[in-house]
Amino acid sequence: MRTLFFSIIVLLCIVSFLYKAYPLRYYDTVKKKSELLDPLLIISVMYVESGFREKVVSPKGAIGLMQIMPATADWLSKTYNIDGNINDPEDNITYGIVYLEYLMEKFGDIDKALIAYNVGPFHVEKMEDAGRRYLKKVKKTYFIYKLLYRYLGSG
């Protein structure tokens, strides 16, 4: 009986740690703006891309929560008539969602869409190591988010 009690306490501590390590930031914004994709998947991309740091800029120049390249934002603005600023967190999320949904429609496969999000749509077929590592990170994070927020509850 003591071992079972100890095991339950340890499990609860682990779950509590996971809720803190994988917060549900920007969920309302993502849910409102996403039409085709699971909001938890988009949250997972955001987690992997920026760790929810709004002002982060990658060494290659990708900006914000969803790590949008300025050229990609310009293309999305023109193609989808988006009037936004990629430095604004909500607009950055909008750009990221629209881009990921575009890639999903283009490739018809979520794995290819996620790889394209990371390495670019012209490098997907090569299935470079970077793309595979990125896909693995996003899928692991997505599994954890689904486990915590869909199957265990809201935390």
DSSP letter assigned to residue 23: -
Is residue 150 very low, low, confident or very high in pLDDT (cuts 50, 70, 90)?
Answer: confident
pLDDT in tens, 49-107: 999 999 999 999 999 999 999 999 999 999 999 999 999 999 999 999 999 999 999 99
pLDDT of residue 8: 87
List the catalytic residues: 49
pLDDT of residue 127: 62
pTM of the model: 0.90
Averaged over 139-151, what is the pLDDT?
94
pLDDT of residue 154: 60
What's the CA gap between 70 and 145, in Å, rounded? 29
pLDDT of residue 7: 86
Q: Which of 44, 54, 43 is nearest to 91 (CA)?
A: 54
Averaged over 123-148, what is the pLDDT?
87
Q: Is the pLDDT at 129 greater than 80, yes or no? A: no
Q: Which of 101, 104, 87, 89 is nearest to 34 (CA)?
A: 101
Q: Where are the alpha helices (DSSP H) in the chain?
A: 2-21, 27-33, 39-50, 70-80, 89-107, 110-119, 129-146
- Cα torsion for 67, 73, 79, 81, to the nearest 10°? 110
Q: Is the pLDDT at 126 greater than 70, yes or no? A: no
Q: What DSSP line would sit under 66-104, residue for residue?
A: TTB-HHHHHHHHHHHT----TTSHHHHHHHHHHHHHHHH
Averaged over 134-149, what is the pLDDT?
96
Residue keyed to tokens 């692991």: 140
Averaged over 112-138, what is the pLDDT?
85
Query: How far, CA to CA in Å, does 94 sit from each of 105, 143, 154?
Result: 16, 23, 24
